Amino acid sequence: MNYTPINKYIDYTNYDCIISIGNKCPTAMMLRKLNIYKESYPFDYIPTTPQLILNYLKNNESFIPEKNTIINNDGVWFGHFDFLNNYNIMVDTFNRRFSRLNGALKNKKRILFVYTSEADVYNEMNNRYNDNYYYLKQIKEYIQDTYDYNNFTILAIHTNKDYPDTKNIINYTIHVDSKYLSDNKETHIPEICNQYRNILYFLLKNIFSL
């Protein structure tokens, strides 16, 4: 595994908020490991897709799973959160996280959204074949149209897909050899996920000049 040459750097101190938008746990994990992720937001540590995140930005309530389950109606897994034993506490937790996110948008904070794509390696939630970049652009347009501001950036790190940068979106690619790609349900094969996360960590570290 390797990543595209770094020629676009980001000064994270220029932003008021850094927010993970999936598509799996490593986005928030690596930002915390780099010590630049200071607050929690709704999409931390939850496997999802940009299309679903766009839907949840429009309708926060559809994100939360019903009682006695850890999977919501869209098939999004909340296994890192104790919804089975502490449902009301978890609902309050995610309501606070959405309030924090919505407040940042409404107050036109300088936001750096970060999207990474480990789920593409395992084809979790069909992410390898989804047009996720299309929906990242839809997220950008939704924020611009809904909140009437443009002072945010989406840093998108794709897997085996290359895209030119557009206004508000900076793109990088991690190249993963075909021998590591799978379509099975196993999404935590140590040999693969540890290598991917190591590459992701150093890519982010270099992008942020840390």
118 neighbors 159 (Cβ within 8 angstroms): yes
- Here the tokens at position 168 are 């508000």
Residue 143, beta-bridge partner list: none
pLDDT recorded at residue 52:
98
What percent of the chain is predicted at pLDDT more than 90?
Answer: 94
119 neighbors 53 (Cβ within 8 angstroms): no
Residues in the chain: 210
Cα–Cα distance for residue pair 36/7, rounded to 1 Å: 21
Q: Summarize the confidence of residues 112-119 as an average pLDDT.
A: 97
Domains in the chain: boundaries: 2-207
Q: Summarize the confidence of residues 108-133 as an average pLDDT.
A: 96
pLDDT recorded at residue 128:
95
| Each residue's pLDDT tens digit, 2-42 | 999 999 999 999 999 999 999 999 999 999 999 999 999 99
Higher pLDDT, 185 or 174: 174
Q: What angle do CA 107, 28, 185 make, to 5 degrees?
A: 130
Q: What is the DSSP string of 86-133?
A: -HHHHHHHHHHHHHHHHHHHHTT--EEEEEE-THHHHTGGGTTTS-HH
Residue 77, beta-bridge partner list: 71
Q: Helix or strand or coil: residue 172?
A: strand
Cα–Cα distance for residue pair 126/121, rounded to 1 Å: 10
Q: Summarize the confidence of residues 53-69 as an average pLDDT.
A: 97
pLDDT recorded at residue 2:
96
This prediction has a pTM of: 0.96
pLDDT recorded at residue 185:
63
Bond preceding residue 59 cis, omega within 30 of 0? no
Kindly report each contact of residues 36-40 with a partner whose C-beta sits within 8 Å and lies 24 or more positions away, as own/partner.
36/12, 36/208, 36/210, 39/100, 40/97, 40/100
| Each residue's pLDDT tens digit, 183-209 | 866 667 788 999 999 999 999 999 999
Counting beta carbons within 10 angstroms of the beta carbon of residue 43, is it exposed (0 to 12), middle (13 to 18) or buried (19 or more)?
Answer: buried
pLDDT recorded at residue 187:
67
Cα–Cα distance for residue pair 72/98, rounded to 1 Å: 16
Q: Residue 42 is which amino acid?
A: P
pLDDT recorded at residue 183:
85
| Each residue's pLDDT tens digit, 94-105 | 999 999 999 999
Cα–Cα distance for residue pair 210/11, rounded to 1 Å: 10
| Each residue's pLDDT tens digit, 144-154 | 999 999 999 99
pLDDT recorded at residue 186:
66
158 neighbors 173 (Cβ within 8 angstroms): yes
Q: Summarize the confidence of residues 173-182 as an average pLDDT.
A: 94
Counting beta carbons within 10 angstroms of the beta carbon of residue 93, is it exposed (0 to 12), middle (13 to 18) or buried (19 or more)?
Answer: middle
